[in-house]
Structure 1
Amino acid sequence: MPADSLTVADGSPDAHLQAVRHLIARHKTLDWLFGLLGVAALMFAMLVFAMLFGQMLVNGFPHLSWDFFTSFPSRRAASAGILSAWVGTILVMLVTAVVAVPLGVGAGIYLEEYAPKNLLTDIIEINVTNLAGVPSIIYGLLALALFVYQFGLGQSIAAAGLTLALLILPVVIVATREAIRTIPQQIREGAYACGATKWQVVAHHIVPYSLPGIMTGVIIGLARAIGETAPIITIGALTFIAFLPPSPFGNPGHLISFDWLTAPFTVMPIQMFNWISRPEAAFQANAAAAGLVLVVMTLSMNAIAIWIRYHFRKRIKW
């Protein structure tokens, strides 16, 4: 007779109680072992991250200065900076956010609230989920054929922003749908009972209540895009650029100019790749300093996501 069986041979209450206690004790032991394994995995991951970040901090922090942020790349490591790289990164991420956020959130709301449940919708949902796991280089090849050659955007900020927008679009859609699914069905039913239309339910209840989760997914998607290199290299980002794109403001006769969208560009990962491929130790240190800046930018975006989630959750009244 198995030890964890609730049925005993003699059928006495004491034997039944003993079997139950043995089963509970074994399950508690398994829970404890699983928790210990999870803590060990977490500590190992944190240790690896701490070692890598610590090495990058030691090598790169002494090179962080005002001149490093305000100077263009140079063939001399002592005078090289990341001005064109961080400006290009900000502009590319601006295009990415403007394109990916409305499309991704809108598609997620439609699939979850409006789309009929049929075979076509199921196929779309499966493909959206699969696209989230497609390697980024595939998006780079697609963008090279579509945006660079077919649409004639060339090796520009607009092409880079659209490429990264395609990359994170499935992530934003999935995050939006998951956030909407957390809203209790009673909220929808209560709104409909008060005479609200479908649009009113979505606009006044579903979106506000799910906004913390949506914004968290958006920021996480943007944090992924900011460190991508393969699709940016594929569409022709410059590895050395000593000028800035045209300013969006202050052009004569125009309140806002969009000439910067067609300008050549580089981004932080490309600049790091350029420096790390050189044998000189000084350029390696510059790459570590640029990596620190990129990590700080990524962590800042995640911190913004946490703050947005906390801020909107305080305003929600269930």
Structure 2
Amino acid sequence: MTNNLVIPAQQNPAASYSIYNRKTRISDMVLTALIYLCASVSILVLVGIMGYVFARGISQINVEFLTSVPSTIKGTFGIIGNIVNTLYIVIITLLIATPMGVGSAIYLNEYAKGGRAVRVIEFTTETLSGIPSIIFGLFGYVFFGTTLGLGYSILTGSLTLSLMILPLITRTTQEALKTVPESYRSGALGIGATKWYMIRTILLPSAMPGIVTGVILSIGRIVGESAALLFTAGSGYLLPKDFFGKILESGGTLTIQLYLSMQKAKYDQAFGIAVVLLVIVLAINGLAKFLSHKFNTEVKES
């Protein structure tokens, strides 16, 4: 009969290093408290900003504010024209930047061999994402507006914003493609699938949560941009008479109208627009979370 011997901790050095026997150090407690403090400050700042903006601007939100345009004759103020212009710029910018960004990421991740050229492209992409938006606006005004003759128009603003969000879509798509297991690639190629067929049917669906998240975050940047659009898209606020003709006309977004209202010392109008912008940003972030969770669930089930 075998006797189970219990070896004391003094005779078993491994037992003395067990995580159950470790003492809580004061430095660990201090760092933990600092982490919770920083998180609490971040939450309080967010709540404070949102609370102040909503308290100042919620009284301005009504049907007339959301469904009319500014009129000196009628004495009314509304932002429906700015909302429509914002939708124009978001849709056109995504139609231009999304295919280019996803295509660039596929090339860099799946076709280009690692080397100096790829490193240079990635470096320039990261540098492009750090350029101030006012410089993009200046370039867009000179190149798209003046050189190409597009003037102050929604198309000029959309082309400029496409350059701004292109690095974001490219990098997020690259990271999403890198998370796809290598076995998916080798398995598809092993059964005779072409590389493009493998990318189209396996890699892109698997990486879709990251791609969608990047696109939706790009929408948030488009909605919140003002400096670049002030130089390129102008400040027009009228509703479009021609759906496609509006693309070549001046169109001010919500952020531009907010800037103009602050410039004219119409603070109540500015805070009302700020409330609408906050609601849009919260909706975009919520949509990103929802779609990311949904795609992750579908990928796991498949």
Same fold (TM over 0.5): yes
2:254 maps to a residue whose letter is M
Q: Shift of the alpha carbon at 1:247?
A: 3.4
Structure 1 residue 272 corresponds to structure 2 residue 258? yes
Deviation at 1:169, TM superposition (A): 0.5
Instruction: Give the aligned partner of residue 231 of structure 2.
Output: 234
Q: CA deviation at 1:23?
A: 12
Residue in structure 2 matched with residue 5 of structure 1 by the alignment: none
| Counterparts of 1:54 and 1:62, CA distance in 2 | 13
Q: State whether residues 233 and 251 of structure 2, in contact with CA within 8 Å, keep that contact through their aligned partners in structure 1.
A: no
The change in CA–CA distance for 1:77 and 1:118 in structure 2 (over 3 A counts) is: farther
Distance 1:46 1:78 in 2: 40
Structure 2: runs of 5+ lacking an equivalent: 1-8
Q: Could you tell me how far 1:92 is from its partner in structure 2?
A: 0.9
Match of 1:156 among 138, 153, 159: 153
How far apart are residue 212 of structure 1 and its match? 0.7
Aligned residues with identical type, % of pairs: 30
Q: Give RMSD over aligned pairs.
A: 2.5
| Equivalent residues, number | 293
Quote the Cα distance in structure 1 between the aligned partners of 2:42 and 2:194. Answer: 48
Q: Among residues 35, 40, 59, which one is paired with 1:38 in the alignment?
A: 35
- The runs of 5 or more residues in structure 1 that have no matched partner are 1-11, 249-257
Alignment correspondent of 2:188 = 191
Give CA-to-partner distance per residue, 1:243-299, whole Å, 9 cap, x none: 222332xxxxxxxxx2121011111011111111233xxx21111111111111122
**Residue 186 of structure 2 corresponds to residue 203 of structure 1:** no
Of the three residues 93, 98, 107, the one matched with 1:96 is: 93
Match 1:310 to one of 284, 290, 293: 293
Distance 1:107 1:246, change over 3 A: farther
Alignment of 1:242-281 (within 5 A): 242-248=237-243, 258-279=244-265
Give the drift of 1:75: 5.5
Change (3 A) 1:204 1:270: same
**1:295 and 2:278 matched:** yes
Aligned residue among 106, 125, 130 for 1:128: 125
Find the aligned partners of 2:232 and 2:72 in 1 and give their Cα distance. Answer: 24
Displacement of 1:37 in angstroms is 2.4
**1:120 Cα shift?**
1.4
| Contact 1:77-1:286 at 8 Å conserved across structures | no
Q: Distance in 2 between matches of 1:218 and 1:42?
A: 27
Q: CA deviation at 1:57?
A: 0.7
Conservation of the 8 A alpha-carbon contact between 2:233 and 2:250: no
Deviations along 1:36-79, one digit per CA (max 9) or x if unpaired, are 32222121111111111111111111111110012212459972
Equivalent in the alignment of 2:6: none
What corresponds to 1:222 in structure 2? 219
Are the structure 2 counterparts of residues 141 and 14 from structure 1 closer, same or farther at C-alpha, using a change threshold of 3 Å?
farther
Contact 2:106 2:174 in 1 (8 A): yes
Q: Does 1:170 align with 2:153?
A: no
Normalised by the length of structure 1, the TM-score is: 0.85
CA–CA distance in 2 between the matches of 1:225 and 1:26?
Answer: 50
Residue 112 of structure 1 aligns with which residue?
109
Q: 1:230 to 1:29 in 2, by over 3 A?
A: same
